[in-house]
Amino acid sequence: MKGRILIIAGSDPSGGAGIQADIKAVTALGGYAATAITSLTVQNTMGVTAVHPVSQRVIVDQINAVVSDIGVDAVKIGMIGNIDAARGILGALENITAPIILDPVLAATSGDALASGDLADFILREFIPKVFLVTPNIPEAEKLTSLAIKTEDHQLQAGRRLVGLGAHAALVKGGHLVDPVIADVLVSGDQEERFAHDRIETTSTHGTGCTLASAIAAGVAQGMDLRSAVTRAISYVAEAIKQAPGYGEGAGPLNHTVSV
């Protein structure tokens, strides 16, 4: 087991997304997952019916407990929920030098809101300049950059804008476009790269964003360069979708136990 990843995110009782998916992905890829839970959601494959935020103090105490004892090689941040939690997380991570991978979760796969309306602006101002990698899907990238994203070139423009705002790198995911070939576009200060893969026709898409970001964080924590970490993570998520168990009546979970 190599690479200690501190995961800061919400809990999904159905096990397909959030902290549960993060732990499974990191473990499957040989890393060690520690967590700080930001919210308790009530959800399943059909959607989110309630969100119960964890207090800022408890979030910060969880982070401090992990950092002071286990240590951290990378941080993955998913669902934050509200600005109070965001401020606490930023303060707790202020002196941590481990790279931060931010999945700017604003809504669930079902479309249900998982963040307060003003959180996107706070993320843009306060989080983006501090992260190693931000991994928005197209609706999230549109919200963060105020760009309409309809093409791969638009994804590239959004990635450039996020890097221009201070992120070391941005991976703008293309799954929300309708093309048969999905392209995830990676932009950093010294590279721009397209990761293309065939669209998999499936309803098993619950937690794909959480899983991808955690898989990348595992690779970074294990000493992989960013391109290699992204390449492995994309392959892992694709295989997890292909071998999904078919559970639930809505957007079903992945099979996080696959090997790549």
Catalytic residues: 173, 205, 207-210
Q: Which distant-in-sequence residues (6+ apart) come within 8 Å of 103 by Cβ?
A: 9, 76, 77, 78, 134, 135, 136, 209, 210, 212, 213
- Tokens 């392209």 -> residue: 183
Q: In what order do the strands lie in the sheet with 192-198?
A: 47-53, 32-44, 4-11, 74-77, 100-102, 133-134, 169-172, 181-188, 192-198
Distance CA 60, CA 91 (A): 8
Q: What is the residue type of 197?
A: H
Q: How far apart are CA 74 and CA 69, in angstroms?
A: 15
**Nearest Cα to Cα of residue 96 among 134, 132, 126, 124:** 132
